[in-house]
């Protein structure tokens, strides 16, 4: 079967099971868009290529499939860069397909020519420049395999325009042969035995649940291990939802804005079991004082993460699901009741400082609003966020019992992630309730995607927490720069009018007594909806571990008098 390169692109995508593509056409990918009309793939026309990247990212996180985003050359391709970086930092499988000028024009500064493979080399798992039509099928096949296997991540394919219009015999590669890329799935028995020995000796063990638990689909194995060994489970920001928040062994989130009792448990533990996480600086605080008395077992599929930030005693390189299945039969049952009781004491002390005790002042606190949305949705919604204070409050107070319902930019910390990732999530789970909890700053970065939501009928609810500040930067300036506020006071538009201009129903909430009715109105209104909450302006997220401090050196909310 002889096909043009543009047709081969869609033949390969449909054979990979792709049902939806997020993108934006232009001169260098026009043949691909022309060929698309003959294939049963739904295309979502975004308003900015960054939106396409985040939508594909959100789709991948919820569906477990590979997301796909497209853009033309030059500015179209460079507009994807932030979203590519976001997917790379959070290990999300997305294939990005960009158009490129004809091969004979490369290097000549042709119109909209940009070396996007060079630009994205550090922020992709792999990338390709395709100059000939006969390279397309094999390249796409490899790209999907690389994106989804091992430690997932983004792959970019840059296809020259001549390759799109030329024709060749099409043969879909049934197998992928990459001798230099062989992800390890199993750890050797001797290292498993070493881990078992540490587990047997531990009196104060703690599991650190990372994004890898979700990526590996190892939620059940984590539950079996935690229950059998009676080991408390703490979560990274991206690990939330992998272990039910309501479970007695669940501690909550660790790290810079983690719960105080979680950080204290890590610092006082004698064994840290890191499952699918990379010891990010937001998790550890200063490394020289991190879990100082603890032995460390690290289960991680990416060998480059072993000993990178924290030296560990037993490295178990492999797929987390497989490693835990091998490990669970080898460990005995334990009690650890004294250790759990010690942690309960810290938790009780922390509850006395909770912002949930500050509910009679008549002000709108973001933490309370997140809890109100959690209560209204019974904790079952898919929740996306932008980045900043609202993100941390959402992580703290939207308690998740189910996996793949928490979408946030962890490693890159990308403002503007919330709305487009929610739209992508809707395409993956149209039967689910979806809320984008956004800050006034981040929302404005990708607000144009409201029209995309309208055009697609995406049933997403947007809660804008408007304090007219860049809240997290303002908090740092309050704590560490003597309240010398610099470039953080943000004049915001009328978000209700802005939403309505996009064709989205909207309400503004300024009083506590309006909150519940507004949330229910949003939930019962079909299609996209915007709620603007005028929240307390100078609220701070607690606890907070200052830069360069140890986990136990948290700034904590004062106990209310």
Our answer to whether residue 111 is catalytic in this structure is yes
Tally: H helices and E strands in the chain: 23, 20
Whole-angstrom distance, CA of residue 306 vs CA of residue 312: 8
Q: How far apart are CA 226 and CA 213, in angstroms?
A: 13
What angle do helix axes 418-428 and 49-63 make, rounded to 10 degrees? 50
Q: How many angstroms separate the CA atoms of 120 and 287, rounded?
A: 30
Annotated catalytic residue within 7, 11, 49, 219: 49
* Cβ neighbours of residue 112 closer than 8 Å, sequence gap 6 or more: 26, 27, 28, 72, 73, 74, 75, 76, 101
Does 472 qualify as catalytic in the annotation? yes
Cα separation, 545 vs 439, in Å, equals 22
Q: Based on the residue annotation, tell me whether 477 is a catalytic residue of this protein.
A: no
- Collapsing DSSP to helix, strand or coil, 404 comes out as coil
Nearest one of 404, 407, 405 to 420, comparing CA atoms: 407
Q: Are strands 529-534 and 460-466 parallel, antiparallel or unpaired?
A: parallel
351-360 long-range CB contacts below 8 Å, 24 or more apart? 352/559, 352/560, 353/260, 353/542, 353/556, 353/557, 353/558, 353/559, 353/560, 354/557, 355/542, 355/557, 357/560, 358/560
Catalytic residue among 161, 204, 321, 461: 161
Q: Which of 470, 472, 469 is nearest to 540 (CA)?
A: 472
Tokens of 255: 């790290």
Selecting among 19, 30, 112, 512, the annotated active-site residue is: 112
Name the burial class of residue 525, with classes exposed (0-12), middle (13-18) and buried (19+) by CB atoms within 10 angstroms of its CB. middle
- Can you state the angle between helices 449-456 and 49-63, rounded to 10 degrees? 60
Cβ atoms 425, 384 nearer than 8 A: yes
For residue 124, give both structure tokens. Answer: 């992709």
| Phi, psi angle pair for 72, to nearest 5° | -85, -175
The set of residues, in sequence order, having a beta carbon less than 8 Å from that of 434 and lying 6+ positions away, is 381, 382, 383, 384, 422, 425, 426, 459, 460, 461
Question: What is the layout of strands, in order, in the sheet containing 460-466?
Answer: 406-407, 382-385, 434-439, 460-466, 529-534, 506-509
Is 49 an annotated catalytic residue? yes
Select which of 55, 392, 472, 544 is catalytic.
Answer: 472
In the residue annotation, 161 being an active-site residue is answered as: yes
Q: Which residues are catalytic?
A: 49, 111-112, 161, 472
């Amino acid at each position: 079967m002889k096909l043009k390169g543009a047709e081969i692109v869609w033949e390969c995508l449909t054979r990979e099971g792709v049902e939806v593509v997020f993108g934006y056409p232009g001169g260098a990918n026009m043949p691909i868009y022309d060929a698309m009309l003959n294939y049963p793939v739904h295309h979502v026309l975004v308003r900015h290529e960054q939106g396409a990247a985040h939508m594909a990212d959100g789709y991948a996180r919820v569906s477990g499939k590979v997301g796909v985003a497209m853009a033309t050359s030059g500015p179209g391709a460079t507009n994807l860069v932030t979203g590519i970086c976001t997917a790379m930092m959070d290990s999300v499988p997305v294939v990005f397909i960009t158009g490129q000028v004809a091969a004979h024009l490369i290097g000549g500064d042709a119109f909209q020519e940009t070396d996007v493979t060079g630009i994205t080399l550090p922020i992709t798992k792999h990338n390709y420049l395709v100059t000939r039509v006969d390279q397309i099928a094999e390249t796409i096949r490899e790209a999907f395999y690389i994106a989804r296997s091992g430690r997932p991540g983004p792959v970019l394919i840059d296809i020259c325009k001549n390759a799109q219009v030329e024709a060749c015999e099409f043969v879909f590669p049934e197998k992928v042969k990459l001798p230099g890329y062989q992800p390890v799935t199993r750890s050797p028995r001797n290292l498993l035995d070493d881990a078992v020995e540490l587990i047997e000796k531990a009196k104060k063990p703690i599991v650190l649940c990372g994004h890898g638990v979700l990526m590996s689909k190892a939620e059940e194995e984590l539950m079996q291990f935690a229950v059998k060994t009676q080991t408390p489970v703490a979560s990274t920001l991206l690990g939330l939802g992998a272990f039910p928040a309501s479970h007695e062994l669940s501690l909550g989130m660790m790290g810079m804005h983690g719960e105080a009792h979680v950080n204290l448990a890590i610092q006082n533990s004698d064994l840290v079991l890191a499952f699918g996480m990379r010891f990010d600086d937001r998790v550890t605080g200063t490394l020289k004082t991190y879990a100082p008395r603890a032995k460390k077992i690290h289960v991680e599929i990416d060998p480059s993460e072993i000993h990178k930030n924290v030296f560990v005693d037993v490295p178990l390189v492999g797929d987390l699901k497989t490693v835990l299945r091998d490990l669970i039969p080898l460990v005995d049952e334990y009690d650890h009741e004294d250790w759990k009781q010690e942690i309960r004491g810290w938790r009780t002390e922390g509850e006395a400082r909770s912002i949930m005790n500050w509910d009679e002042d008549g002000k709108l606190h973001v933490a309370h609003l997140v809890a109100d949305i959690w209560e209204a949705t019974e904790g079952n919604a898919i929740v996306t966020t932008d980045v900043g204070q609202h993100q941390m409050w959402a992580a703290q107070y939207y308690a998740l019992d189910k996996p793949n319902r928490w979408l946030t930019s962890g490693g890159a910390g990308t403002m503007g992630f919330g709305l487009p990732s929610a739209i992508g999530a809707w395409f993956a789970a149209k039967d689910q309730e979806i809320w984008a909890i956004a800050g006034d700053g981040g929302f404005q970065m990708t607000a144009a995607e409201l029209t995309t939501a309208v055009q697609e009928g995406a049933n997403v609810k947007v809660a804008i927490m408007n304090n007219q500040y860049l809240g997290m930067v303002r908090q740092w300036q309050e704590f560490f720069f003597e309240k010398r506020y610099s470039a953080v006071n943000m004049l915001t538009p009328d978000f209700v009018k802005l939403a309505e201009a996009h064709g989205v129903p909207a309400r503004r909430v300024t009083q506590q007594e309006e909150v519940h009715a507004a949330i229910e109105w949003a939930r019962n209104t079909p299609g996209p909806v915007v709620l603007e909450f005028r929240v307390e302006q100078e609220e701070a997220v607690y606890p907070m571990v200052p830069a360069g401090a140890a986990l136990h050196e948290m700034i904590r909310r004062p106990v209310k008098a």
